[in-house]
Amino acid sequence: MSDRILFENVSKFYGEVMGVNRVSLNIPPGVTTLVGPNGSGKTTLMNLMTGLVQPSSGRISVLGLTPGDADRFFRQVGYCTQFDSFPRRLTGWEFLFDALILHGMSEDDAFRLAGEAIQRVQLGDAGARRIEGYSKGMRQKIRLAQAIAHHPRVLVLDEPLNGLDPMARAESLALFEELSRQGMHLVISSHILDEVDRISDRVILITGGYIVAEGDVHQVRREVRDKPMQVLIRCDQPELLASRMFSENHCVEAKLHADGAGVFLRTGDIDEFYRLLNRIAIEGVVKIEAVAPADDDTRAIYQYLIGSDGSPS
């Protein structure tokens, strides 16, 4: 079996309405974040890779499998949608057990895997309670448990952090990191970009049904060459540092940090910027404590590529 999710010139139309158009992707294992405004095509992309809809044209394969090979395909794929609709009166554990039986598991395996999934999402004793009494965050957890219970190799997550409190979000992100280390594909759509950024290996930016950028988030940022990069430098003499950097024509903008112990500098030539900064550090006139890109994240890249009118979601 392949270890890639492949889209080859894929388009999907709903009558006259375009979902996605001419999408080609080669997604390796790891955490991939999907970013785009509402209506950009994210959900269509996820529905295509999970076999819930078929492309109007082009070809999709997931780990070398196509949805036509349903028995093998759906054993390898888990999907946690942002919407829920649960059978009435079932407990969380019963919901998972029934889903695993539908996957073709034996009753013994379904019993074991249902309990394991409840523990992995840290739902605890709530697994024995009826879902109709769950909070929004608990419903999100049981959906995630259902998506991972059969041990898929590909996990597609549509807004998986919605409704979770900060502690539950941290637990979910830790679980996603663990699954990624085990060699799984995780494709995540989330508007909580600051947190998802910490675990993402790559980003796919989509708008209007078209892929506008993809790859490692730092590489994608470097490709946005018409937007000067912003760097935060913490040092003992931020004003002197800014003056020196401007004198060498490696800055287009400077702004002191609110605490007065750092400066934000924008440059159109990041390589020369860092060379000069190293030279200043070696001279010892300014004591530099820390250097970090200040707009090298998914949200900033998206706004640069799409424009500030479209808010990522």
pLDDT per residue over 75-105, tens digit each? Answer: 999 999 888 889 889 999 999 999 999 988 9
Is 115 a domain residue?
A: yes
Instruction: Look up residue 140 and give its amino acid.
Output: Q
Query: Are 204 and 185 spatial neighbours (Cβ–Cβ below 8 Å)?
Result: no
229-251 per-residue burial string, b: 16 or more CB within 10 A, e: under 16? bbbbbbbeebeebbebbeeeebb
Q: Residue 41: name the closest of 22, 59, 25, 18 by CA.
A: 18
Alpha-carbon distance of 274 to 253, in angstroms, equals: 16
Q: Which structural domain, as residue segments, surrounds residue 243? A: 225-295
- Do 100 and 180 fall within a single domain? yes
Q: What is the pLDDT of residues 205-244, one digit of tens each?
A: 888 899 888 888 777 766 666 678 888 999 999 999 999 8
The confidence score (pLDDT) of residue 223 equals 64
The confidence score (pLDDT) of residue 296 equals 66
- Do 280 and 190 fall within a single domain? no
The confidence score (pLDDT) of residue 12 equals 96
Q: Domain ends where: 215, 235, 257?
A: 215
| DSSP SS3 for 251 | coil
Is 300 a domain residue?
A: no
- Do 165 and 273 fall within a single domain? no
- What is the pTM for the complete model shown? 0.76
Q: What CATH number did the domain enclosing 173 receive? A: 3.40.50.300
| DSSP SS3 for 287 | coil
CB-based contacts of 161, cutoff 8 Å, min separation 6: 140, 169, 172, 173, 190, 192, 195, 196
Q: How many domains does the chain have?
A: 2
Is 231 a domain residue?
A: yes
The confidence score (pLDDT) of residue 309 equals 47
Q: Domain ends where: 192, 215, 238?
A: 215
Which residues lie across from 189 on neighbouring strands? 34, 158
Instruction: Look up residue 207 and give its amino acid.
Output: T
Which residue numbers in the chain have pLDDT < 50?
309-313
Alpha-carbon distance of 227 to 304, in angstroms, equals: 7
- Do 50 and 111 fall within a single domain? yes
- Do 129 and 243 fall within a single domain? no
Instruction: Look up residue 262 and give its amino acid.
Output: G
CA distance to 157, 232, 240, per residue, from 291 (Å): 33, 6, 16
Q: What CATH number did the domain enclosing 261 receive? A: 3.30.70
Element (H, E) at 263: strand 262-267
**CA–CA–CA angle 173, 142, 115 (5° rounding):** 95
Is 312 a domain residue?
A: no
- The separation between CA 247 and the C-alpha centre of its own chain, rounded to angstroms, equals 40
- Do 33 and 123 fall within a single domain? yes
| DSSP SS3 for 310 | coil
CA distance to 94, 95, 124, 212, 294, per residue, from 88 (Å): 11, 10, 21, 42, 48
The confidence score (pLDDT) of residue 105 equals 93
- Do 179 and 50 fall within a single domain? yes
